[in-house]
Amino acid sequence: MPLSTNVTRPFSGSRLLLKFQRLHISSGVSSFTRGFAFHQGSRLPPGFSLSSRGSVFHRGVAISPRSFVFRTFSSSGFDFRSLHEVVSPNDYTKYYIPKPGEVLDFLNRHYQFPRKTNNDKVLKIKCPKCRPKKSNFFSIEINVNDGTYRCNECMTKGTWKDYMQLITKTSTFQVINSTQMGIGCPSYLSSPEEIEQYSNELQNYPKVIEKFENNHGITLTTLLAYKVGIATYCNIKSNSSIEISRQDAKELCITFPRMAPCFDDQDQDNILRYKVARIKAYSVEDYEFITFDPPSVHSGLFGYHLVPLECETIILTGNEYDAMTVYQETQIPATCLPNNGYQLPIEILPLLERFSKIYIWLNDDVQGQDAAEKFAQKLGIDRCLIVNTRCNNFDGPINASQALTMGKNLNEILSLAKPLQHEQILNFDNLKEAVYREVINPGQVRGISSKDLPALTQILKGHRPGELTIFTGPTGSGKTTILSQLSLDYCKSGVSTLWGSFEIPNIRLAKKMLTQFAGEDLSKNPGEFMNWAQKFQQLPMYFLKFFGSTEVSTVIDAMNHAIYAFDVQHIIIDNLQFMISEQGKFTDRWELQDRTISAFRRFATDKNVHITMVVHPKKDSRELLDMSSIFGSAKISQEADNVIILQKIESEDGDERYLHIKKNRFDGTLGAIPIEFIPNSLKIRHLRKKKFQEVNHLFADKQIFEKYSSNTKNWRSCKPFTRTIPVS
């Protein structure tokens, strides 16, 4: 059958001639062997779908029923991405349903003020395509619940994500990671041939196999099915001694391959095969030490090769151990999150598109269940079921691995999985489990601790989602430096972070962060650069491409996208004044600032992310800053959950700085932390005892650290001066 057509790229507005060709892979070089031409007007073959960027999928996998792998090319040339990259990062799952209120909020923010219709669920809006011709014509009907739309004039129609992209033109390209900035290594650390051999090595390490059996109940058969292997990786410990040559700091690792579908043209049977797309390696000695190969490409899923093509159900667990346990016990294909931590990158979503039922089986604690709800939203709540391992038995197992070692029946636990509630109104019965989880996990409710500045955790009790922190201080006092360090600190604990640096270019910020990450000035030791860059690029750290004055709505769209695409939990805006400069010429500057703060405040609450916003003080003076020095009206201090001021005390012998926590809505504890700067690593730390004694008179004059100074015997265990005020 001649297959040739002129296929319209959905909603791009341009027509793209696509020719689907069979991919030929020989000696690592792609070439096309046989071509099909599609004639205008004909359709894609049954079962095929076309992604918004032109990739062809069959039931979510880039194949045809005859196991052909297709590629697209346009007049701009061939697209020779390797198979696992065929997945477009712009692809949203077709199952996605917006959250209640999301549609209306978006329309208002983009000045698409809708008109009511007789049907409560349907609103009328202007069509962006027809509008230039008929300026007042409300020709689009949009469903406020699921966001699907249709224009009665130009017949454009699509999903909610299509409409959003039509209006904002927001894309992944506004958010980049360190690899896209040229930091680190974009390709494999080991050769693909070496990687394929890792699984054969496992049987030479009976002690490792024994540990899996004895500690986790995972059998050799399961390990072999998942192609778990053994390999040596260099320098995966973050504290590997710098004196040892990097090549010598080898670590024996257990490898967990992420598999992606592929087609080998040499193979006459035309059978779909799977290849290792990425390796996750844990040190045999210490599971805390982990590396990925390649470091930053997110592709493939653990155990994906075990899913039969016709299978419509999959279990998504938090880690490899849980996935293997669940598969072993239930015989249902099980995979795990691709990264280290609660992230489900959009590159992975198309691999999950073919499933009509997805069990999400993460840890049954506050963070795990929050993540499960977030992923269900991302994957489409109608096809997801969330597993609660404890099954209301509150001293029950927290995850699948523990359930097996406690002798529980995993099939039974799975059968009690529940869908996520659609409704906004919940009764106490719905909330009971969540409340109990919070009661028995107080540490997780408090938030993530700072490892670099424990005193900050002592006062603020941790870094929590849903809060707005205002950070201020005199010009050039080190605000960006501290936030870079703190964000890195939380990011290392798995907090996916988005930086909006409107004042300094991303590359300079990333350089500062890399120096802090390495803990040394890499320009004095350039040989170390690549090692640190490779580790750095494995962190979930993203950057907004915007610089200087940027419309708040555009920033919010990009933040929304980053939350969907990269599961961002912490957003840093540096700084408010630069972001809104040159805007609102005819409106009051303070009013614009207030409106912006309100928008970010609402965003933090709605999306359950922590936003840290740098705000310049009203004027630079040598006096210590206070809440009233921040700027504008009292709005900012009302809206913020935390206010931190970087204070600078100038003296003839130099200056001293301390972090002043002026507001803490969580439990009201306020306090001050004297800090010192280490120029070599560009990091700050608590002021050391000896130094504190030397400069104590400066603080004593200001009556900041009375309690602190009276107890300097044992500096490390000494508490910073804090006081608690009642929370309003």
Ligand X SMILES: Nc1ncnc2c1ncn2[C@@H]1O[C@H](COP(=O)(O)OP(=O)(O)OP(=O)(O)O)[C@@H](O)[C@H]1O
Helix (H, G, I), strand (E, B) or coil at 706: helix
HSE, side-chain direction, 13 A CA sphere, residue 643: 22
Q: How far is the CB of 568 from ligand X (least distance, A)?
A: 22
Question: What does each C-alpha distance from 595 to 107, 547, 576, 592, 598 come to in angstroms?
Answer: 17, 20, 12, 5, 5
Q: Are 659 and 672 in contact (CB under 8 A)?
A: yes
Query: Smaller CB distance to ligand X: residue 397 or 478?
Result: 478
C-beta neighbour count of 451 within 10 angstroms: 11
Q: How far is the CB of 677 from ligand X (least distance, A)?
A: 3
Q: How far is the CB of 678 from ligand X (least distance, A)?
A: 9
Q: How far is the CB of 467 from ligand X (least distance, A)?
A: 21
Query: Smaller CB distance to ligand X: residue 46 or 476?
Result: 476
DSSP 203-258: GG-HHHHHHIIIII---HHHHHHTT-EEEEEES-STT--SSS-GGG-EEEEEEEEE
Query: Smaller CB distance to ligand X: residue 205 or 547?
Result: 547
Dihedral angle at the C-alpha atoms of 27, 33, 37, 43, nearest 10 degrees? -60
Query: Smaller CB distance to ligand X: residue 367 or 477?
Result: 477
Q: How far is the CB of 481 from ligand X (least distance, A)?
A: 3
Q: How far is the CB of 614 from ligand X (least distance, A)?
A: 7
Q: What is the DSSP letter of 680?
A: T
DSSP 663-678: EETTT-EEEEEEEEEE
Query: Smaller CB distance to ligand X: residue 481 or 629?
Result: 481
Query: Smaller CB distance to ligand X: residue 433 or 676?
Result: 676
Query: Smaller CB distance to ligand X: residue 88 or 484?
Result: 484
CA distance 588 to 580: 12
Which residues, listed in sequence order, are joined to residue 358 by a DSSP beta bridge? 314, 384
Find all residues with CB under 8 Å of 80, minimum gap 6, and list them.
30, 71
Q: How far is the CB of 686 from ligand X (least distance, A)?
A: 12
Query: Smaller CB distance to ligand X: residue 329 or 574?
Result: 574
- Nearest-CB residue for ligand X: 478
CA distance 132 to 135: 6
Query: Smaller CB distance to ligand X: residue 7 or 684?
Result: 684
CA distance 686 to 154: 63
Tokens of 450: 């700072």
Q: How far is the CB of 571 from ligand X (least distance, A)?
A: 17
Q: What is the DSSP letter of 159?
A: -
Q: Are 440 and 434 in contact (CB under 8 A)?
A: no
Residues lying near ligand X in the complex (CB under 6 A): 473, 475-481, 503, 657, 677, 682, 684
Q: How far is the CB of 504 from ligand X (least distance, A)?
A: 7
